[in-house]
Amino acid sequence: MPVTEYKTTAFSDQKPGTSGLRKKTSVFMAEGYLENFIQAIFDVMSEREKISSMVVGGDGRFFNKDAIQVIIKIASANGCSRIMVARDGILSTPAASNIIRKYSLNGGIILSASHNPGGKDKDFGVKFNTSNGGPASSQITEAIFETSKRLMRYLMSDIPDLDLGKTGSFKTEDAEITVFDPVSDYVELMENIFDFDKIARLFRTQRFSMCFDAMNAVTGPYATAVFEKKLGAPQGSVIRSTPLEDFGGVHPDPNLNHAKELVSAMFSANGHDFGAASDGDGDRNMILGKNIFVSPGDSLAIIAANHHLIPAYAKGIKGVARSMPTSQAVDKVAKKLGIACYETPTGWKYFGNLLDSSLVTLCGEESFGTGSDHVREKDGLWAVLFWLNILASKEKSVSEIVMEHWRQFGRDFYSRHDYEGLDTQIANEFMENLRNKLHFFTGKGSGKYEVTWADDFSYIDPVDKSLTEKQGVRLGFSCGARAVFRLSGTGTKGATLRIYYEQPENDHQLFLNDPQLLLAQLIKNTADITRLQERTGRDKPDVIT
């Protein structure tokens, strides 16, 4: 097929963050912007692992389909001879990871800004995953950024736009392009992990009711296929199940603030037995029971403690990993199981080497992400199925399972406070100030809340020995509590300061306390020591999770 070379001006702002390149949709729609970044990916990989086969799809947000057409043309022009395209452009992040692994592709491009809102004046994103199915390493994303800054041309095959609505294959002179059903491979993978018969019996015999909120985003078709069609949950168990370009105007972020309908249904007199939600691209999850919210840190710990109930993990798990700011609840489970627990920087890509080298089986982040070695991304529906399988095996309620866990391991009270839209300079100065003053903090505060150690988290990858620095300032207190400070790497406007608070408690009498109340003293003490209000000009966080 003829290839046309287009001239482009290089862009200086295509630095991928925690999870790919994220910008306002209008930025991506500007002439040459998307093209430049995609070409940079192909240029970089041509010197590493050439992308001769790949998958492309996205979370269905505005500009998804147009971007896919562009990517197909650039891929084909750069010698990619096998291009798998998700039907209607709909492909969840974990399903994309599965496709790369199952069909031994060299990589994949996922179009998503995860839980950020979608639309012409909202957010868009591009994520590149490599042949292990996981997000490209920092070394690769850094090389893509460097290349994008110098790029003067991009290549496009002169092929017509593809009909994304119909499955099937067609061949051009250079490539085979296949539009595939994005749901079936994923459902098969889940059937091989979990005990579907047991979960189906739960729905059939025990009048068990669940509500899954797909938030008008990518998991709708997957959740309907799995929960309603395969497992026999009544029709309507999946709500907001059709992917919409603007997610119906909602923030497709599965947390207590954004899944209001689900939350009020779960906390009402005749609430469901089980509730869950996933985000824009299907990699996050929120777990709820009747009148109870399971924090992501607890969910990870409970999943690890109950792994033996799940067919795929019944023979044992190798180790666990969590991102540094994630609650240490899972560490206690790992200790009891006698397996390793790794603490990594924030971002799923840091789990890749651990999973590839079979050092860990399960991993998770406080930001509603949980997953295992079945793919190389976090996986929202997998976590929901994990819980359903636990519930079906134990024949207990969510709250009974959580209480039982706390009684055995203690409860890690946990909360994250986000200060959004800060002036970037103020935010950077605030962090620099903390970093320069680490030694000064020790001994500050008093009683239970005296600072006994402070550091700036850095990580040496146990597999490739690469060093990642400046991953968050940590203050450790005499009672075992922690406060962690870091700046978000996924925002699209200004800077977001995240402060994570954690306090372990073993006293059963305290277990039902509201985390904000229990943590109040720690929060106040931390603000005083770091002069948070004075330095940021903010007296309260914008979002509390």
Residue 18 binds which one of ligand G1P, Zn ion, none, with CB within 5 to 8 A depending on kind?
ligand G1P
User: With respect to ligand G1P, which residue has the nearer C-beta, 78 or 344?
Assistant: 344
Residue 346 binds which one of ligand G1P, Zn ion, none, with CB within 5 to 8 A depending on kind?
ligand G1P
- The set of long-range contacts for 512-515, using a CB threshold of 8 Å and a minimum separation of 24, is 513/413, 515/295, 515/413, 515/414, 515/415
Residue 365 binds which one of ligand G1P, Zn ion, none, with CB within 5 to 8 A depending on kind?
ligand G1P
Q: Which residues, at least 6 apart from 516, have a Cβ–Cβ distance to it below 8 Å?
A: 415, 544
| Cβ atoms of 132 and 376 closer than 8 Å | yes
Q: By the criterion CB under 6 A, which residues form the site for ligand G1P? A: 18-19, 114, 323, 346-348, 365, 367, 369, 488-490, 498
Cβ 378 to Zn ion, closest distance in Å?
A: 8
Pairing mode, if any, of strands 467-468 and 451-456? unpaired
Backbone angles phi, psi at 178, to 5 degrees: -120, 125
Please identify the residue of the shown chain whose CB is closest to the bound ligand G1P: 488
Look up residue 230 and give its DSSP letter. Answer: I
Q: Which among 375, 490, 482 is positioned nearest to 16, based on CA atoms?
A: 490
User: With respect to ligand G1P, which residue has the nearer C-beta, 344 or 530?
Assistant: 344
Binding to Zn ion in span 99-118, by CB under 5 A: 114
Cβ 82 to ligand G1P, closest distance in Å?
A: 28
Cβ 209 to ligand G1P, closest distance in Å?
A: 30
Cβ 300 to ligand G1P, closest distance in Å?
A: 12
d(CA 431, CA 425) in angstroms, rounded, equals: 10
Residue 53 binds which one of ligand G1P, Zn ion, none, with CB within 5 to 8 A depending on kind?
none
Cβ 114 to ligand G1P, closest distance in Å?
A: 5
**R_g (Cα) of the chain, nearest Å:** 23
Binding to Zn ion in span 280-309, by CB under 5 A: 281, 283-284
Q: Which residues, at least 6 apart from 366, have a Cβ–Cβ distance to it below 8 Å?
A: 295, 296, 297, 323, 325, 326, 327, 414, 416, 500
Active site residue 367: no
User: With respect to ligand G1P, which residue has the nearer C-beta, 400 or 420?
Assistant: 420
Look up residue 273 and give its DSSP letter. Answer: S
Q: Kindly state whether residue 279 participates in binding Zn ion, applying the rule CB under 5 A.
A: yes
Q: Kindly state whether residue 59 participates in binding Zn ion, applying the rule CB under 5 A.
A: no
Q: Which among 138, 132, 118, 13 is positioned nearest to 61, based on CA atoms?
A: 118
User: With respect to Zn ion, which residue has the nearer C-beta, 328 or 545?
Assistant: 545
Q: What does the block give as tokens for 141?
A: 């994303």
Please identify the residue of the shown chain whose CB is closest to the bound Zn ion: 114
d(CA 325, CA 468) in angstroms, rounded, equals: 15
Q: Which residues, at least 6 apart from 437, have a Cβ–Cβ distance to it below 8 Å?
A: none
Cβ 368 to Zn ion, closest distance in Å?
A: 9
User: With respect to ligand G1P, which residue has the nearer C-beta, 248 or 489?
Assistant: 489
Residue 224 binds which one of Zn ion, ligand G1P, none, with CB within 5 to 8 A depending on kind?
none
Per 3-state DSSP, the chain is made up of helix, strand and coil in percentages (nearest 5) of 35, 25, 35
Cβ 201 to ligand G1P, closest distance in Å?
A: 34
Cβ 367 to ligand G1P, closest distance in Å?
A: 4
User: With respect to ligand G1P, which residue has the nearer C-beta, 76 or 116?
Assistant: 116
User: With respect to Zn ion, which residue has the nearer C-beta, 378 or 482?
Assistant: 378
Residue 498 binds which one of ligand G1P, Zn ion, none, with CB within 5 to 8 A depending on kind?
ligand G1P
Residue 279 binds which one of Zn ion, ligand G1P, none, with CB within 5 to 8 A depending on kind?
Zn ion
* Of 114, 299, 367, 415, catalytic: 114
Q: Kindly state whether residue 366 participates in binding Zn ion, applying the rule CB under 5 A.
A: no
Residue 281 binds which one of ligand G1P, Zn ion, none, with CB within 5 to 8 A depending on kind?
Zn ion
According to DSSP, the residues that pair with 155 across neighbouring strands are 5
Q: Which helix (H) or strand (E) holds 489?
A: none
Per residue in 340-360, is it b (16+ CB within 10 Å) or e — as a string? ebbebbbbbbbbbbbbeeebb
Q: At what angle do helices 33-46 and 138-150 cross, to 10 degrees?
A: 120
Residue 299 binds which one of ligand G1P, Zn ion, none, with CB within 5 to 8 A depending on kind?
none
Instruction: Report the first-to-last Cα separation within the chain, whole angstroms.
Output: 52
Q: What does the block give as tokens for 523?
A: 């929060």
Q: Is 8 exposed, middle or buried (0-12, 13-18, 19+ CB in 10 A)?
A: middle
User: With respect to ligand G1P, which residue has the nearer C-beta, 19 or 148?
Assistant: 19
Cβ 31 to ligand G1P, closest distance in Å?
A: 28
Q: Which residues, at least 6 apart from 383, have a Cβ–Cβ distance to it below 8 Å?
A: 276, 285, 287, 299, 303, 370, 371
User: With respect to Zn ion, which residue has the nearer C-beta, 155 or 277?
Assistant: 277
Interface positions with Zn ion (CB under 5 A):
114, 279, 281, 283-284
Which residues participate in catalysis according to the annotation?
114
